[in-house]
Amino acid sequence: MSLAKRTLAQRWLEGAYQGSRWLSPLRPLGALYQWAMARRERAYRRGKKEVWQAPVPVIVVGNITLGGTGKSPLVAWLANWLASQGWSPGIVTRGYGGKAPHYPLFVTPGSSVRESGDEPLMLAQQTRLPVVADPQRKRGVQALIEAGCDIVLSDDGLQHLALGRDIELLVVDGARGLGNGRCLPAGPLRESFSRLQRVDAVIVNGRLQHPLPMQAPATSMQLAPLCWRRLEDSARFPLAPLPFTLPVNAVAGIGHPERFFRTLRALGVAGDWHPLADHQQFSAEALNFPHRRPVVMTAKDAVKCHAFAPANSWVLDVEATLPPEFEHWLAARLSALSQRRHAHG
């Protein structure tokens, strides 16, 4: 994406979250989009469009806003937690940004990011569990089941209604909330905020700074810095003292770069911040900054830069943390689900 296009997209996204008046003329289009999405959902709910139900439990993790909410760290946490509970989980994802020669594509830690896309490769490296990228999620889920998975996590699958689901988890960025509360292109919403009332749980990433239009309490999730990782050899270092000199060039091609930069500042990192478009394509030239400083990036960016990043490049690894109450709730839901499936088996 060119710098001009990225700047325009960022300006629109900032306006959508800050309630800028220049988006007001787009409200009729937003209302039309909201009507179309509601009509589509009713078609699936009433059986006018086919929904495929997998023979194993499916947990969907998604959001209703553009710009990044932290759902991928939640997917990684869920996958590892399920494995610790005795399940054999697999992750299905669309594989946005990747172009594979065939689908379904089993993504391994050594896969080509050009084929898999950045988030699937990151999840494969973080979890070491089966990850399948496939635009046809039904086919991807079937491949995971054939590989021995007995539960499936659908990453960013909230609006993919053709795939049946047993549990829906909706992630909201606590700092930005739902923005101006309007649907595309008048606001950041993929569908009406009433969707919050129809999911099984709403999970807020970080401190909630804007009230949500829902009655049930939301679950709080924190993204906790884990360690520094040297990109060239994957060597890991504690958060303090910093294993590199200051100042740095920090890059972030994620949905909400400021969240990453805010974390860096909290860790005592100073330098120049370079916010980029989500899923930004990198090159060696793009990382060739005028000042020869350490380069700091996210794990999502690192999978695209490993082959050509400067020697002094560092990754901040983070992990999601959730309260014990959520674990107890999820364990109870899965137990009840297993009992129902066994009774009808």
Provide the mean pLDDT of the chain: 93
The reported pLDDT for the residue numbered 4 is 41
Strands (E), 141-281: 151-155, 167-173, 201-205, 219-230, 236-237, 248-252, 271-275
pLDDT tens profile 143-197: 999 999 999 999 999 999 999 999 999 999 999 999 999 999 999 999 999 999 9
State both tokens at 155: 């990453």
pLDDT at residue 7 is higher than 70 = no
The DSSP code for 311 is T
Residue 3's pLDDT band, with cuts at 50, 70 and 90, is: very low
The reported pLDDT for the residue numbered 19 is 81
User: Which one is predicted more confidently, 23 or 341?
Assistant: 23
In Å, the largest CA–CA distance within the chain is 65
pTM of the model: 0.92
CB 309 within 8 A of CB 295: yes
DSSP-derived secondary structure for 196-209: GGTSSEEEEES---
pLDDT at residue 1 is higher than 70 = no
